[in-house]
Each structure stands twice: as C-alpha cells, then as structure tokens.
C-alpha cells in the first residue's frame, strides 16, 4: 500500500449534510445525542438511529472523536465522525490544542476507515464561541500537518465570512 500522500484541501460554502463525501465530521457535544447548529442538522438528516449509536459511544472528551454509520444520509456519505470541540474561554485554557486534536483525530479516524473524502464544519465557531479566524488557522495548519490517506478534505463554511477565511489560508 502506498504511504500517505498530500490531500487536496478545499473550501466550500454550504450545508455539510449536502456534501458528496464518504465521511462528514460533526461538531458534537460529549453526550453524542444531538444538539443545535450543525449537530442538529446532521442528526435530522441521519435520522434517530444516529443518536442511539452516539449515545452508545458516549461520553466523548473534548479533542477526541468517534465514528458512527451515517444511517439515513444519502450515499456516498457512509460515516459520521463526531468530535467535541473546546468551549472558548479566552484562549488560555488549552483551547487551541484541543481544537487541533479534533482535526487530527477526525483525519486519523477517516484514514483508519479507509475513506477518500471527508468534510469538516467550522468546529467550535458557533455556540462554543471560538473566534472564527483563529479556528480557521488551526484547521488549515493541522490538516496540512497530519499524515493521511484521505485524498480530499473539504472545509465547509456555513457563511461567507468563514468561507473567505478559508480561501485566504488555502491560496
């Protein structure tokens, strides 16, 4: 088997539940039963079995990630990788390291699952309050630095501001 290569990292604007990738990442909470924001959207699209599967794997610590099937999400999506981002408390409580760990662990799990494409939301930048520009720095740096067999990584921005932050860092 060839060793890890360099993935293509792309920015897109839209709803992550519509992405045509093999795995989507969920910005979850530690109970893995669903919630608001992107978590709610993914649970609505995947159906009630997602919460059951998540609860069976809970708790998930901040910075860690756990995979479930994608249930009612349409192919090619086969896996949901749930990660728990840091709550922003000003940046002095280990938030950057926890966010870095989220991106790294999700990519490692994607590699272990054998997926070739994976989509990430802007983890922690909603209710968890992480400043979007700082979070985009962590996302791009960590994804570039992590060895992987995933070939396409899509950073999904739900708003134009976040989309521009990704474009600025990827070009």
Binding stretches for ligand ADP (CB under 6 A): 15-17, 27, 37-39, 41, 85, 121-128, 156, 158-159, 162
User: Other CB atoms closer than 10 Å to residue 98's CB: what's the count?
Assistant: 22
CB of 126 to ligand ADP, least distance (A): 2
C-alpha–C-alpha distance, residues 121 and 154, integer Å: 9
Decide whether 91 or 114 has the Cβ nearer to ligand ADP: 91
CB of 28 to ligand ADP, least distance (A): 8
CB of 132 to ligand ADP, least distance (A): 7
- Annotation marks residue 39 as catalytic: yes
Q: Which residue, 85, 80, 17, 83, is CA-closest to 50?
A: 80
Decide whether 7 or 39 has the Cβ nearer to ligand ADP: 39
Q: Which residue, 62, 57, 47, 131, is CA-closest to 103?
A: 62
C-alpha–C-alpha distance, residues 120 and 117, integer Å: 10
- Active-site residue, from 39, 74, 137, 159: 39
C-alpha–C-alpha distance, residues 143 and 123, integer Å: 13
Containing 112, the helix (H) or strand (E) segment is helix 95-113
Decide whether 89 or 114 has the Cβ nearer to ligand ADP: 89
Decide whether 117 or 162 has the Cβ nearer to ligand ADP: 162
**Helix 132-145 × helix 95-113 angle, to 10°:** 40
Active site residues: 39
């Amino acid at each position: 088997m060839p060793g890890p290569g360099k993935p293509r990292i792309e920015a897109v604007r839209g709803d992550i539940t519509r992405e045509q990738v093999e795995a989507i990442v969920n910005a979850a909470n530690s109970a893995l039963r669903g919630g608001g924001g992107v978590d709610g959207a993914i649970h609505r699209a995947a159906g009630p079995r997602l919460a059951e599967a998540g609860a069976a794997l809970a708790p998930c610590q901040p910075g860690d990630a756990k995979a479930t099937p994608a249930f009612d999400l349409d192919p090619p999506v086969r896996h949901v990788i749930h990660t728990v981002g840091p709550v922003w408390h000003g940046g002095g409580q280990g938030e950057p390291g926890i966010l870095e760990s989220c991106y790294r662990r999700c990519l490692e799990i994607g590699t272990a699952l054998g997926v070739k494409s994976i989509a990430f939301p802007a983890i922690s930048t909603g209710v968890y309050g992480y400043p979007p520009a700082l979070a985009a720095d962590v996302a791009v740096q960590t994804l570039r630095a992590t060895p992987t067999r995933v070939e396409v990584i899509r950073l999904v921005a739900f708003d134009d501001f976040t989309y521009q932050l990704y474009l600025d860092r990827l070009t």
